[in-house]
Amino acid sequence: MTKASARQPGGMRPWRFVVWFGTVSLLADFVYEGARSITGPLLASLGASALVVGVVTGAGEAAALGLRLVSGPLADRTRRFWGLAIAGYALTVVSVPLLGVVGVLWAACALVIAERVGKAVRSPAKDTMLSHATAATGRGRGFAVHEAMDQVGALVGPLVVAGMLALTGGDYGPALAVLALPGVAVLGLLVWLRARVPDPEAYEREVTPHTGEAAETDGRLPAAFWTYAAFTAATTVGFATFGVLSYHLVERHLMAAAWVPVLYAAAMAVDAVAALATGWLYDRHGARVLIALPVLTAAVAVLAFTDTVAIVVAGSLVWGAAMGIQESTLRATVADLVPRGRRATAYGLFAGVVGVASLAGGALTGGLYGYSIPVLITVVVAVQVLALVLLAATPAARR
């Protein structure tokens, strides 16, 4: 059977599955990216320093990634991909509205991290189901379309939050409460999609019925996967969170807090374009296109921590482009490196490695920001040079 004619027994073609799952992610991104766009200013309003913002947002990303060390193998072992996906989305869409009603720093920090834990629970299962469908659509393009749809929600959510902040005079409570509505839609759509496509692996079985069966039985992940994870970890260490970027904007009086979500929305639009472009290039040229990621990460540090508004805005948009590559092409490459029977475990382990790097990166950029911005820039650029060396040593990037 050809890729174009692959069909789930329930009748839904793989591209339709990718688009519907993209709609789920669009609505979920509406919720949590709306909240993330104001995390820095919200925590600052409760008394957080730049270091606290960096550590909390970095810890949140570490939780979102590191806890997949548990959820990934659990998904492979139980094969309950849909159950884990629905549970993870539920935790996220409940945590965000609550963030708007707490009034103490420790509780807000806990909810920021809890929202990210929801992502940890769902992501290996979600990515594995998508990897099955994208075996029929083309991995780069399938993950890129999904990421682009993500970013529609990531664009709309911050704009809605910005509008609510403008209407309420900067009251974070109503701005976060409104995000409960798309959260309800996320859960309803997931239940419907599970009923239509109970076994997404059928897509991949139809187009590649025998590929990788020997590798699946020995229980080991390929050596190329670990080299690739090392490259990704290195480039992530130097990647500043948007929480630190937005903290810089507000604390240096470069931008009013109400405008920060608008900038974040613009960065998410760039994210979508970068995902589509690199996804298309990946299907034609392979993992070598990832050379762009360390270059963009270094550029973020050089541009985003200046005191000139136009340059900081440019750096924030470059941050969005780097995020687009991280959230699409990096995941597509994992699917091509690992056989399907071990793929959720691979996604979990990959995210765990990157999670440690995210925590280090959040603490590094937050800490060095308070110490010396020139030192911050120098360290980030040096780490990205190392990442380029590791990418050159990755077999997938040489094909």
DSSP state of 221: P
The DSSP-derived string for 321-346 is HHHHHHHTHHHHHHHHHS-GGGHHHH
Distance separating alpha carbons of residues 24 and 85, to the nearest angstrom: 11
Q: What pLDDT score does 210 carry?
A: 52
Chain mean position to CA 72: 16
CA distances, 152 to each of 38, 353, 357, 361 (Å): 18, 28, 27, 27
Polymer length in residues for the chain: 399
Sign for the CA dihedral angle at 380, 382, 385, 390 comes to negative
Q: What pLDDT score does 129 carry?
A: 93
Backbone angles phi, psi at 116, to 5 degrees: -70, -30
Q: What pLDDT score does 3 carry?
A: 52
Which two tokens mark 267? 């960065």
Residue 56's contacts (CB-CB under 8 Å, 6 or more residues apart) are 43, 48, 109, 112, 113, 243, 362
The DSSP-derived string for 256-276 is -GGGHHHHHHHHHHHHHHHHH
Which two tokens mark 367? 């800490």
Which two tokens mark 227? 């080299």
Backbone angles phi, psi at 203, to 5 degrees: -60, -50
**CB-based burial label for 38 (10 Å; 0-12, 13-18, 19+):** buried
Residue 381 · residue 301 · CB < 8 Å: yes
Residue 144 · residue 278 · CB < 8 Å: yes
Residue 295: count of CB within 10 angstroms of its CB: 14
Distance separating alpha carbons of residues 5 and 14, to the nearest angstrom: 9
Residue 165: count of CB within 10 angstroms of its CB: 22
Q: What pLDDT score does 209 carry?
A: 59
Residue 96: count of CB within 10 angstroms of its CB: 28
Distance separating alpha carbons of residues 122 and 205, to the nearest angstrom: 23
Closest of 290, 349, 354, 330 to residue 124, by C-alpha = 349
**pLDDT tens, the chain, 399 aa long:** 445 455 554 568 889 999 999 999 999 989 988 888 788 888 888 888 878 787 888 788 778 777 888 998 999 899 899 999 999 999 999 898 888 888 788 888 888 899 989 988 998 999 999 988 988 888 888 888 888 888 788 778 888 888 888 888 888 888 888 999 999 999 999 999 999 999 888 888 877 755 444 344 456 788 888 888 888 888 888 787 777 788 878 877 777 777 887 888 788 788 888 888 888 888 888 778 888 899 998 898 888 888 888 888 888 899 989 888 888 888 888 888 888 778 888 888 887 787 778 777 777 777 787 778 888 888 888 888 988 888 887 765 555
